[in-house]
Amino acid sequence: MKFSIGRIGEARILPVLKDTVPQGMEELFAYLKERELFSGAKGEIFFDLGLHGSNTLLVGLGEADKLDAQAYRQSFYKAGTEAAKARLTQVTVDLPKFPQICYRTAVKAAAEGLYHSAYRFDKYLSQEKKKPVLEEVAFQIVAGTEDKVTSALAEISNILDGIDLTRSLVNEPAEAIYPETLAKAAQEALTPLGVEVEVKGLEEIKALGMTAFLAVARGSAREPKLIIMRYRGASEDQETIGLVGKGLTYDSGGYALKPAASMAAMHTDMGGAGAVIGAMSAIAASKLNRNVTAVVAACENMISGEAYKNGDIIRSMSGKSIEIGNTDAEGRVTLADAIYYTATKENVSSIIDVATLTGAVIVALGSHYTGAVTNDQAMMDEFKLASDLGGEKVWQLPADDDYRDMVKGKRADLLNSVKGGAGSITAGLFLENFTEGKKWIHLDIAGTSAYDAPHGYRPAGATGIPVQSLYYFCKGDNDQTRCC
């Protein structure tokens, strides 16, 4: 979606606060009120485009004292959906300035809602079935805000491009995105933005001693790839943030085979990898003055005569041994090596891992919140500011020694699948064993990375969560009380 400042198309979208009347529209609003057609309630729409209709799409922003970025995202998602129903491909947004919210924030959130309304993964549909979508949006803005709006639109465009990249990778079936093509996609998207992308194949992964990663990968006919993406926006003496994404391009469960119904969506089990690649795109395109290194250990979890087995005891790159109670708890096994590699070989000062790790996080939080586990509260607090700014909800799970004890093994140092409940916490704390004491946050996006059905202002399929949180975290300085 293209954003600009000015006017475009035959219709405009006008956001309206509840029970208020935009200047010059007194007559229309008296009529709308009398007929109870429009009050400005959040997400409410009034639009009569046509031969003699008005060319203004009214959208309610809800109550003035509850006005926030989420209200803009939700309302503009609705407005974009209605505009597309009217077969508009270009539209002007007439954006008033309300004192309750920073104008930059409002512009970005409106753009985001419109973008989500137009997202389709329809490349495999025959031409006749495709419906027109909004392609170009121009913002008619308050005088004197050109500079602010220009930079806000540039930033949100870079973020939305990152989200779009994540989505296009996550929505692809496993026949299209497997380790080699995932690595290629990362190279193609990130190299032009100045990110160094290094891809290691089987022999190099063996040479690194990533035996846990290789145990999972070994049942598949597809070669595993270790994808390392380095962005240097600051000098080498500045610290580097490490991002690690779970990169299971398919998770059949292995010998702990999943039933068909839950296996069918497992092409999305590289949602963490997709998110860190998308975040790197947003970070590099915006030229953030930070150093960030992202790592993905990409493979498939399959069945074959070579595959690892339930009951196996394997070694990891760190030297710690792992008892495989369940081959379907494979994500943490690959991440053990990916995190250890990042902590010891990439000179990072902190690590965020992002993973579609457990069904248990869906039991706990559904599709609305990402679950988080951390060993550093200050880092977590910073991350929460970033996720708030991006409208990507995160819930921190408790993590203490009672849970830490649960992942300790008897036959091996660690257990990959633990009885006794709290599956998302124990999965996270399993990973903690490979962080080498670095500041660390684990994000379980099993419920938030891809939706079965639309929720709020996001359509079904890959969501792009948590690209915005990662972007704003890396950018830093997210205290909204200092907003314009």
Query: Least distance from C-beta 124 to Mn ion, angstroms?
Result: 25
**411 to 440, contacts with ligand BES by CB under 6 A?**
417, 423
Residue of the chain from 330, 337, 382, 432 that contacts ligand BES (CB under 6 A): 330
The CA distance from 217 to 330, in Å, is: 9
Instruction: Return the number of other C-beta atoms located less than 10 Å from residue 67's C-beta.
Output: 20
* Residues β-bridged to residue 371: 395, 444
Query: Least distance from C-beta 423 to Zn ion, angstroms?
Result: 13
**262 to 281, contacts with ligand BES by CB under 6 A?**
269
Query: Least distance from C-beta 254 to ligand BES, angstroms?
Result: 9
For 258-358, list the strands marked E by DSSP: 291-301, 313-315, 321-323, 350-355
* Among 225, 332, 384, 439, the one annotated catalytic: 332
Q: Pick the piece of the chain touching Mn ion (CB under 5 A) from 237-245, 313-321, 328-336, 403-411.
A: 328-336
Q: Pick the piece of the chain touching ligand BES (CB under 6 A) from 139-147, 273-281, 323-331, 467-475.
A: 323-331
- Under the binding rule (CB under 5 A), the answer on residue 353 touching Zn ion is no
Phi, psi (5° rounding) for residue 144?
A: 90, 0
379 and 441 Cβ atoms separated by less than 8 Å? yes
Smaller CB distance to ligand BES: residue 15 or 331? 331
The CA distance from 201 to 346, in Å, is: 18
Query: Least distance from C-beta 468 to ligand BES, angstroms?
Result: 20
Query: Containing H/E element for 462?
Result: strand 461-462
Q: Which residue is nearest to Zn ion (CB)?
A: 251
Residue of the chain from 112, 161, 164, 251 that contacts Zn ion (CB under 5 A): 251
* Active site (annotated) includes residue 258: yes
Query: Least distance from C-beta 416 to ligand BES, angstroms?
Result: 7
Phi, psi (5° rounding) for residue 141?
A: -115, 165
* Active site (annotated) includes residue 345: no
- Measure the CA angle with vertex 348, ends 347 and 351; round to 5°: 145
**DSSP structure string for 124-188:** TS-GGG------EEEEE--TT-HHHHHHHHHHHHHHHHHHHHHHHHHHS-TTT-SHHHHHHHHHH
Residue of the chain from 171, 281, 334, 356 that contacts ligand BES (CB under 6 A): 356
- Under the binding rule (CB under 6 A), the answer on residue 446 touching ligand BES is yes
- Under the binding rule (CB under 5 A), the answer on residue 331 touching Zn ion is yes
Per-residue mark of binding to Zn ion, 262-291 (x: CB under 5 A) = -------x----------------------
**246 to 275, contacts with Mn ion by CB under 5 A?**
251
301 and 327 Cβ atoms separated by less than 8 Å? yes
The CA distance from 477 to 437, in Å, is: 25
- Under the binding rule (CB under 6 A), the answer on residue 331 touching ligand BES is yes
Instruction: Return the number of other C-beta atoms located less than 10 Å from residue 376's C-beta.
Output: 15
* Residues β-bridged to residue 372: 396, 443
444 and 355 Cβ atoms separated by less than 8 Å? yes
Residue of the chain from 55, 105, 187, 326 that contacts ligand BES (CB under 6 A): 326
**Contacting positions for ligand BES (CB under 6 A):** 251, 269, 326, 328-331, 356-360, 417, 423, 446
Binding site for Mn ion (CB under 5 A): 251, 328, 330
Which amino acids are annotated catalytic?
258, 332
